[in-house]
């Protein structure tokens, strides 16, 4: 029988319906501790206007369930400040990447920070990049108060260092590109006006006058706006390669010179409007692509992710401890690490016993028991009780430090992939040059210099790869925008091209194919009466919710899915035996839960009532339900699939068989350093992983996908990141990449046909400035149409 659910109460902060509300003295109810604290903060600093802004725009903030009140002490550390802050005329400012910003009320609240925090003078939010820049008063340098306040309001701040691309040069780069586009646009529109008059029949003095005017207006385009093309062309030629910008620059420069000559000779053929248009269009498409790329997360300074939480160091031969940052530790110090804290260094336990989860290092999900003298590594999570550790290695020397150092300065030796379009432009340029010289000599011989110049100029302008230069960036930015809409973050366009040619796919086990934590798979009651069963469930729930062992957490989660009004019963002398289970008295009945690891990939957890088994559960690191379909689909497209994991052989074999991997493709107990060696043996490899340990493997594979839930680290080292917890996004990303390359090939085909026709017409003299001014935009528009048509939203999941 189901217990009826009492009347739903609405949380007065985030508006979620809630069953067991938290009450505050003012009689308001909240869904969680987080919402209550945010509500109180707003009350104290009379910022209740937050709520009427919300109503007016009727979009509610998300609830702040997992509000971990961090200290952010590391922000005040001088070394940190010098690397992360800007000093402008004595004012210190730092930018934070904020998670959880999404509505007008958030903007209002965040920009009200100066009224909440004493030493903050100004806070400015950029909602597009969800980046807040906080400026302190003159002479102040502590950002921790500001960060703490932001965190307590439900926004999770990540400091952005000032050397990162995001802050400094990317902004300058974007501005200069925008300037070039603006000037090209102005010149293009006004040149069209004057050359348009000449096309419309202005004769005599006006025609010459307009010629010179167009020349005058074309100068800023050719000598300022088109600089990026020349730079990249020269760069390409320097290392003996040819990219799309070489033919482009050729057309612009040659077109400009010859057109100027024609203006001086008072002839009618000048192509300034075509030159200005193509420069404007291609610059614009590159600007759109630059905007689509995710430059905010990059790979330097990875170690700092693990050095954020402060830890406690024992003051020499005294019993008390001082709060200190991990990078300030030095060997021979003694450190105290409490429950649920990250181990700040490599060393050995000298007091106390605990269970440690090594997933960040080895990817293994199961936590392992560590007693006296056992070796611990930096970055792993202490799940058990507080222990004291003797430090022997810190910072870069630690095992994870070495691993990350390798990743950071690992020059990505992926084969230098150049785009199809660049390959094509190599032949294209030579062909055009050849044709141009032939035409020039033929007409020079047959008629006179001016006539031959006319034809060559027409040829060069018409065959300029404007359509192609426009298509590739546009296709990639459309694909990346489409991917992002479906929860797939692709960080750069070369990943798309590489993804379209992969053959072998390597999967990490924990966290990628499996859920990464223990799930209850089977359970059995030893009493048939259902009211008894609910009591047993309640007891199990109360006992297990006292321990933070991973198995206990899964059991608690399982219990609450079964029945969501379990109450915490009164327990008498509750006791947890590390690694064995929990026991205690409820209303003078003795209950004990014993968990045993069968070693065959699953764990038994039995509840005994006064020594007699009442309820038995079986937990295993279950395979994700969407793993089967995704693997089936991938194998359907003739990809070879491999399973690579650091976990124990028995578990890996069981999962491998379950997912129909060929035995020889299953590799188990592979330490992080070795994973990349396996991958190197294969060409066109894709690696799908999640933990920090896969970061090195990410580098070696041609393309790397980090699944959802992985630590911020993967976000920075992998090429593609699954924003949502769906494995079929892997399939979708491959479909998208293939479609992108298909669109580029179609555009390639179209522009080749267009060029052949254009060139032949130009050679035979049918093309003049007016005809060029018509067919050039038409060709660009068709390319644009093809690209937009093929990347419309119809590219849904699944269909290839």
Partner 1 sequence: MESRLEILNILIPMALFLGSFFVFLFIWATKSGQYDDLDTPSKRMLLEDEVDLKE
Partner 2 sequence: MTTETNSQDFETFSYDDKLTKMFVIATLIWGAVALFLGVWIAFELASYKLNLDLPWFTFGRLRPLHTNAAIFAFIGNAIFAGVYYSTQRLLKTRLASDLLGRIHFWGWQLIIVGAAITLPLGISSAKEYAELEWPLDILVAAIWVTFGINFFLTIQKRRERHIYVAIWFYIATIITVAVLYVVNNLAIPVSFMKSYSVFAGVQDALVQWWYGHNAVAFFLTTPFLGLMYYFIPKAINRPVYSYRLSIIHFWSLIFVYIWAGPHHLLYSTLPEWVQTLGVGFSIALWAPSWGGMINGLLTLRGAWDRVRREPILKFMATAVTFYGMSTFEGPLLSIKSVNSLAHFTDWIVGHVHSGTIGWNYMLTSGMIYFMVPKLWNTKLYSERLANIQFWSSTIGLLFYIVSMWAAGITQGLMWRAIDDTGKLVYKDFVETVDKIIPMYWLRAFGGTLVLIGFLILIYNVYKTIKNAPKDQVEEKFKALPLSAVPLDTHGGRHRKLEGLPLLFSVLAFLAILVGSVIELVPSLVSNQFIVMDARVKPYSALEVAGRDVYVREGCYTCHSQLVRPLIEDKLRYGRVSEAAEYVYDRPFQWGSRRIGPDLHRIGKKYGNIWHYRHMLNPREITPLSIMPNYPWLYKNKVKFEVLTKKLSVLAALGAPYSEEELKQAPAMAKAQAKLIIDELIADGVPEKMVNKEIIALIAYLQRLGVDMAEEKKDEVTSTK
Contact partner, 200, from partner 2, partner 1, none, Cβ < 5-8 Å per class? partner 2
Residue 48: strand, helix, or coil: coil
- Of 559, 514, 553, 541, the closest CA to residue 367 belongs to 553
Contact partner, 45, from partner 1, partner 2, none, Cβ < 5-8 Å per class? partner 2
Binding mask 613-652 for partner 1 (x = CB under 8 A): ----------------------------------------
> What single DSSP character describes residue 2?
P
Binding mask 124-153 for partner 1 (x = CB under 8 A): -xxxxx------------------------
Single residue of 2, 68, 203, 446 touching partner 1 by CB under 8 A: 203
Smaller CB separation from partner 1, 106 or 407: 106
Residue 337: strand, helix, or coil: strand
Reported as type and span, the H/E element at residue 532 is: helix 530-544
Binding part of the chain for partner 2, among 145-153, 517-525, 586-594, 718-726 by CB under 8 A, reads 145-153
Residue 603: strand, helix, or coil: strand
> What single DSSP character describes residue 61?
P
Contact partner, 145, from partner 2, partner 1, none, Cβ < 5-8 Å per class? partner 2
Residue 261 in contact with residue 272, Cβ under 8 Å?
A: no
- Of 448, 454, 435, 465, the closest CA to residue 258 belongs to 454
Distance CA 474, CA 455 (A): 31
Single residue of 9, 81, 121, 761 touching partner 2 by CB under 8 A: 121
**Residue 214: CB minimum distance to partner 1, A:** 12
What residues contact residue 586 under an 8 Å CB cut-off, 6+ apart? 539, 542, 569, 570, 571, 572
DSSP 16-44: -EESSPEE-TTS-EESSHHHHHHHHHHHH
- Of 68, 132, 121, the closest CA to residue 99 belongs to 132
Smaller CB separation from partner 1, 181 or 358: 181
Single residue of 206, 212, 419, 523 touching partner 2 by CB under 8 A: 206
Is 111 a binding residue for partner 1 by CB under 8 A? The answer is yes
Single residue of 32, 134, 183, 729 touching partner 1 by CB under 8 A: 183
Single residue of 82, 138, 182, 577 touching partner 1 by CB under 8 A: 182
Is 334 a binding residue for partner 2 by CB under 8 A? The answer is no
Smaller CB separation from partner 1, 182 or 235: 182
Distance CA 453, CA 472 (A): 31
First to last CA, the chain: 48
Contact partner, 343, from partner 2, partner 1, none, Cβ < 5-8 Å per class? none
**Residue 164: CB minimum distance to partner 1, A:** 16
Distance CA 265, CA 207 (A): 12
Smaller CB separation from partner 1, 217 or 582: 217
Contact partner, 351, from partner 1, partner 2, none, Cβ < 5-8 Å per class? none
Binding part of the chain for partner 1, among 177-185, 685-693, 734-742, 778-786 by CB under 8 A, reads 177-185
Single residue of 54, 77, 85, 93 touching partner 2 by CB under 8 A: 93
Binding part of the chain for partner 2, among 120-128, 253-261, 330-338, 766-774 by CB under 8 A, reads 120-128
What residues contact residue 175 under an 8 Å CB cut-off, 6+ apart? none
376, β-bridge pairs:
347
222, 228, 266, 774 from 771: Cα distances, Å: 22, 28, 19, 5
Smaller CB separation from partner 1, 75 or 283: 283
Residue 685: strand, helix, or coil: strand
Q: How many residues bind partner 2 (CB under 8 A)?
A: 39
Tokens read off for 787: 């690209």
Tokens read off for 144: 């921790």
Is 116 a binding residue for partner 2 by CB under 8 A? The answer is yes
User: Tokens 């780069």 map to which residue?
Assistant: 173
**Residue 169: CB minimum distance to partner 2, A:** 10
* Length, in residues, of the chain: 800
7, 186, 221, 263, 413 from 457: Cα distances, Å: 80, 24, 18, 13, 42
What residues contact residue 402 under an 8 Å CB cut-off, 6+ apart? 396
**Residue 203: CB minimum distance to partner 2, A:** 8
SS3 letters for 248-302? HHHHHHHHHHHHHHHHHCCCCCCCHHHHHHHHHHHHHHHHHHHHHCCCCCCCCCC
Residue 679 in contact with residue 699, Cβ under 8 Å?
A: no
Binding part of the chain for partner 2, among 20-28, 147-155, 598-606, 680-688 by CB under 8 A, reads 147-155
Contact partner, 118, from partner 1, partner 2, none, Cβ < 5-8 Å per class? partner 2
Distance CA 287, CA 789 (A): 21
Contact partner, 107, from partner 1, partner 2, none, Cβ < 5-8 Å per class? partner 1
Distance CA 142, CA 140 (A): 6
Single residue of 175, 231, 351, 742 touching partner 1 by CB under 8 A: 175
Binding part of the chain for partner 2, among 108-116, 410-418, 509-517, 572-580 by CB under 8 A, reads 108-116
- Contact positions with partner 2 (CB under 8 A) in 29-58: 41, 44-45, 56-57
Distance CA 799, CA 475 (A): 19
- Contact positions with partner 2 (CB under 8 A) in 174-203: 182, 185-186, 189-190, 193, 196-197, 200-202
> What single DSSP character describes residue 130?
T
Is 186 a binding residue for partner 1 by CB under 8 A? The answer is yes
Is 785 a binding residue for partner 2 by CB under 8 A? The answer is no
Q: How many residues bind partner 1 (CB under 8 A)?
A: 25
What residues contact residue 238 under an 8 Å CB cut-off, 6+ apart? none
Contact partner, 174, from partner 2, partner 1, none, Cβ < 5-8 Å per class? partner 1
- Contact positions with partner 1 (CB under 8 A) in 570-589: none
Smaller CB separation from partner 1, 216 or 715: 216
Tokens read off for 515: 């859920």
Tokens read off for 365: 């999900």
Report the chain's C-alpha Rg in angstroms: 33
Is 206 a binding residue for partner 1 by CB under 8 A? The answer is yes
Smaller CB separation from partner 1, 85 or 187: 187
Distance CA 636, CA 630 (A): 10
**Residue 447: CB minimum distance to partner 1, A:** 31
Single residue of 70, 86, 290, 399 touching partner 2 by CB under 8 A: 86
Contact footprint for partner 2 (CB under 8 A): 41, 44-45, 56-57, 86, 88-89, 91, 93, 104, 114-118, 121-122, 124, 135, 137, 145, 148-149, 152, 171-172, 182, 185-186, 189-190, 193, 196-197, 200-202, 206
**Which residues of this chain interact with partner 1, rule CB under 8 A?**
53, 57, 104, 107-108, 111-112, 125-129, 171, 174-175, 178-179, 182-183, 186, 190, 203-204, 206, 213
């Amino acid at each position: 029988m189901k217990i009826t659910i009492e009347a739903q109460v609405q949380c007065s902060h985030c508006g979620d319906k809630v069953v067991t509300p938290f009450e505050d003295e003012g009689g308001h109810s909240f869904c969680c501790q987080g919402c209550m604290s945010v509500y109180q903060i707003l009350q104290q600093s009379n910022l209740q206007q937050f709520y009427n802004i919300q109503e007016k725009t009727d979009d509610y903030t998300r609830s702040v369930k997992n509000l971990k009140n961090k200290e952010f002490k590391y922000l005040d550390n001088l070394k940190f400040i010098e690397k992360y802050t800007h000093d402008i005329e004595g004012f210190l400012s730092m930018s934070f990447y904020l998670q959880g910003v999404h509505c007008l009320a958030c903007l209002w609240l965040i920009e009200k920070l100066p009224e909440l925090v004493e030493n903050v003078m100004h806070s400015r939010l950029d909602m597009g990049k969800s980046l807040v820049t906080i400026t302190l008063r003159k002479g102040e340098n502590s950002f921790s108060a500001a960060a703490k306040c932001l965190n307590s309001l439900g926004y999770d701040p990540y400091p952005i260092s000032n050397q990162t691309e995001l802050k400094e040069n990317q902004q300058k780069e974007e501005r200069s590109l925008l300037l070039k586009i603006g000037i090209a646009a102005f010149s293009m529109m006004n040149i069209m006006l004057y050359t348009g008059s000449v096309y419309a029949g202005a004769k005599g003095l006006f025609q010459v006058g307009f010629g010179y005017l167009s020349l005058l207006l074309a100068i800023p385009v050719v000598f300022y706006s088109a600089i990026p093309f020349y730079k990249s062309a020269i760069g390409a030629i320097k290392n003996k390669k040819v990219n799309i910008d070489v033919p482009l620059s050729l057309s612009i420069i040659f077109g400009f010179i010859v057109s100027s000559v024609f203006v001086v000779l008072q002839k009618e053929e000048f192509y300034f409007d075509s030159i200005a248009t193509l420069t404007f269009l291609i610059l614009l498409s590159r600007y759109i692509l630059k905007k689509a790329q995710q430059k905010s997360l990059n790979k330097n300074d990875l170690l700092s992710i693990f050095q954020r939480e402060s830890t406690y160091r024992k003051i020499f031969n005294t019993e008390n401890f001082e709060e200190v940052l991990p990078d300030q530790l030095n060997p021979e110090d003694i450190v105290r690490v409490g429950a649920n804290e990250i181990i700040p260094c490599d060393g050995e336990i000298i007091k106390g016993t605990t269970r440690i989860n090594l997933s960040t290092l080895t990817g293994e999900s199961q936590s392992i028991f560590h007693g006296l003298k056992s070796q611990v590594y930096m970055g792993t999570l202490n799940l058990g009780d507080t222990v004291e550790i003797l430090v022997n290695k810190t910072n870069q020397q630690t095992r994870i430090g070495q691993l990350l150092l390798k990743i950071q300065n690992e020059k990505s030796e992926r084969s230098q992939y150049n785009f199809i379009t660049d390959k094509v432009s190599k032949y294209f340029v030579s062909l055009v040059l050849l044709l141009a010289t032939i035409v020039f000599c033929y007409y020079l011989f047959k008629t006179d210099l001016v006539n031959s110049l006319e034809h060559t100029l027409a040829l060069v302008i018409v065959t300029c790869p404007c359509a192609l230069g426009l298509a590739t960036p546009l296709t990639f930015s459309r694909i990346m925008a489409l991917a992002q809409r479906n929860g797939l973050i692709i960080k750069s366009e070369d990943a798309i091209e590489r993804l379209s040619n992969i053959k072998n796919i390597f999967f990490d086990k924990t966290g990628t194919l499996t859920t990464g934590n223990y799930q209850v798979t089977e359970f059995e009651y030893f009493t048939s009466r259902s009211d008894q069963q609910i009591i047993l469930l309640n007891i199990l729930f109360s006992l297990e919710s006292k321990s933070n062992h991973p198995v206990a957490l899964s059991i608690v989660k399982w219990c609450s899915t079964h029945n969501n009004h379990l109450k915490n019963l009164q327990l008498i002398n509750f006791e947890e035996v590390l690694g064995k289970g929990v026991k205690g008295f409820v209303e003078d009945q003795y209950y004990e839960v014993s968990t045993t690891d069968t070693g065959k990939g699953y764990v038994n957890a039995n509840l005994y009532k006064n020594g007699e088994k009442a309820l038995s559960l079986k937990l295993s690191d279950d395979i994700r339900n969407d793993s089967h379909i995704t693997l089936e689909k991938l194998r359907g497209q003739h990809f070879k699939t491999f399973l690579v994991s650091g976990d124990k052989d028995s578990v890996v074999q069981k999962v491998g068989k379950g997912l129909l991997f060929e035995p020889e493709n299953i590799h188990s107990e592979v330490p992080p350093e070795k994973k990349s060696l396996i991958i190197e043996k294969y060409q066109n490899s894709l690696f799908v992983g999640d933990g920090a340990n896969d970061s090195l493997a990410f580098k070696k594979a041609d393309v790397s996908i980090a699944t959802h839930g992985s630590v911020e680290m993967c976000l920075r080292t992998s090429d593609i990141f699954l924003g949502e917890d769906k494995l079929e996004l892997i399939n979708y990303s491959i479909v998208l990449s293939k479609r992108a390359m298909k669109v580029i090939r179609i555009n390639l085909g179209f522009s080749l046909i267009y060029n052949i026709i254009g060139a032949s017409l130009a050679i035979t003299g049918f093309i003049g400035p007016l005809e060029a001014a018509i067919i050039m935009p038409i060709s660009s528009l068709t390319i644009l149409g093809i690209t937009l048509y093929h990347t419309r939203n119809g590219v849904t999941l699944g269909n290839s």
